[in-house]
């Protein structure tokens, strides 16, 4: 698969609001499914489904710690990329006269 195809697949995996919430929830440290359920307010099956998609796309890794499996970002630069994209979008909104200050904030988790 060429790099542009991989890029498109990565963007598709990130193209869901709930996956972005999960991504930011794991930004600082790996989390268990139960921790993620609590932080983002989604059901356990929903969180697990989104984690599977992100794992298959190479965004998230899963590591067993005793009885728990912790999910974390494979590469922290993905958060930097998402923050850069948010910055671009915020600037566009400012240029269009929208209240961009709320958009500049990371999603509430």
58: left (phi over 0), alpha (psi -120 to 50) or beta: left
Please, what is the average pLDDT of the chain? 90
State the Cα–Cα distance between residues 28 and 44, nearest whole angstrom: 21
- The pLDDT score that the predictor gives to residue 77 is 96
Instruction: Catalogue all structural domains in the chain, each as residue range(s) with its CATH number.
Output: 3-103 (1.10.10.10)
**pLDDT tens digits along 10-63:** 999 999 999 999 999 999 999 999 999 999 999 999 999 999 999 999 999 999
97: left (phi over 0), alpha (psi -120 to 50) or beta: left
pTM for the predicted model, two decimal places:
0.82
């Amino acid at each position: 698969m060429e790099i542009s195809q991989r890029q498109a697949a990565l963007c598709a995996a990130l193209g869901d609001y709930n996956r972005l919430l999960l991504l930011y929830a794991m930004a600082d440290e790996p989390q268990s499914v139960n921790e993620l359920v609590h932080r983002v307010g989604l059901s356990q099956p929903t969180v697990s489904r989104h984690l599977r998609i992100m794992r298959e796309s190479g965004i998230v890794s899963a590591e067993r710690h005793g009885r728990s499996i912790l999910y974390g970002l494979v590469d922290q630069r993905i958060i930097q990329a998402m923050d850069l994209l948010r910055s671009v979008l915020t600037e566009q909104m400012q240029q269009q006269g929208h209240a961009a200050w709320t958009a500049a904030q990371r999603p509430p988790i």
